[in-house]
Amino acid sequence: MIDIEDKRQCCGCNACVQCCPKRCITMQEDTEGFLYPVVDECICVDCGLCERVCPVLNQSSEREPLEVYAAFNKNEEIRMQSSSGGIFTALAEQVIKEGGVVFGARFNEDWEVVHDYVETIEGLSVFRGSKYVQSRIGNTFSQTEQFLKQGRKVLFSGTPCQIAGLKLYLRKEYENLLTMDFICHGVPSSGVWRQYLNELIARLGNSRNSVYPHSESIILNSIRNISRIEFRNKRLGWKKYCFALTLSVTDECGSKNTVLLSEPHNENIFMKGFLANLYLRPSCYACPSKCLKSGSDITIGDYWGIQNVKPEIDDDKGICCTIVNTSKGIFYVSKMNVNKIISSYKEVFQGNTALIKSALLSAKRDEFYRHYPEKFVQFVSRATRLPIKIRCKVWIYNLLMHLKLVK
């Protein structure tokens, strides 16, 4: 029976909930905003199946990739809508054209991140772009199993621990299953994300748009005013990505308008706290799925540092490192109609240490949650403020970048 005594021992993959024959396990949110399994001991028969599908208790061996590429989608529009190079979309389109189903993470109407599936190329747009919140898996593992048993091809994309959970849940290999994970920094709290959006809406009554000046007051009632969220808007380029929200708002005269609110990622409060590891899931500080242990066929991510190893293809529109881990992955990548050049695991690792290293536990995490949620914005601002010497170095570097004296 699953019994979470140390929260670092649960990654929230939901495999235990979906495999339980008695349906006696539910996911409940804790005070930090993360979901954990809770067992109804009155119904549990102690069969042990929940423990056998846990990716923390049943970790696989570390792997070395078979092939590595720097790649990007030939479709410029899809590439710009994607966080890096649009490789997920290229692979997903291929699977759908073969009559398959694609699973991924999307926003729901309350701007929570949930896992879902689509069966059309048009439907893939909801999966494009990074979503820096832990997705709610729901019953997508059991849905995947149903499609596989029907003979449908399935592409399942998710975090490494979600892929590991899916593999253990299925308990056998399926030739018609293709799995894709990504280089994961860690998953932030859904509760903190919800708090951030509510505070943002609450204080935006007289906000001035940072992209299109908007001097009139705007009326916001709830997060339902949000029509689009982009964690990785490329308005300023791929490397200097922005956090952007599109709002459908009503002004003082009753007229409806669309307003874009945009901030560089290093100025956005939620992103600053995320990148400072203030509110990652406890298991992310001891991730069970690093070093390609998830069992995925393909691993993708931003090819950070591409300007140093493959400068000839760096146009600041997004390059994806495509790490191929299985022969099945090789087969599908070989069929993708994308621009790609051969790279190496060593080259990718130089700018992506999260491939093998877990996030560092922030010394300020406990203090953050002691104040949360009352002083969220104030604490994150204070906790992520850089020392004056580092701020000066960053200012000088940005100036040199602007003058194109450094890359």
pLDDT tens-digit readout, 238-284 = 999 999 998 887 666 666 777 788 999 999 999 999 999 999 999 99
Q: Which pLDDT score, from 0 to 100, does residue 371 have?
A: 85
pLDDT tens-digit readout, 178-207 = 999 999 999 999 999 999 998 888 877 545
Q: Which pLDDT score, from 0 to 100, does residue 211 have?
A: 39
Q: How many CA atoms lie within 13 A of 146 on its CB side?
A: 7
Q: Which residues contact 291 (CB under 8 A, 6 or more apart)?
A: 62, 63, 355, 356
Q: Is the pLDDT of residue 215 over 70?
A: no
Pairing, β 35-39 against β 25-29 = antiparallel
Helix (H) or strand (E) holding 75: none
Q: Is the pLDDT of residue 232 over 60?
A: yes
226-230, 280-284, 305-309, 403-407: least confident range: 403-407
pLDDT tens-digit readout, 1-13 = 888 889 999 999 9
pLDDT tens-digit readout, 337-369 = 999 999 999 999 999 999 999 999 999 999 999
Q: Taking the model in full, what pTM does it have?
A: 0.91
pLDDT tens-digit readout, 45-104 = 999 999 999 999 999 999 999 999 999 999 999 999 999 999 999 999 999 999 999 999
Domains of the chain from N-terminus onward: 7-52 (3.30.70), 67-188+280-355 (no CATH), 190-275+363-402 (no CATH)
Percent of the chain with pLDDT over 70: 90
* CA neighbor of 188 nearest in space, from 40, 13, 32, 405: 32
CA dist 274 and 132 (Å) reads 8
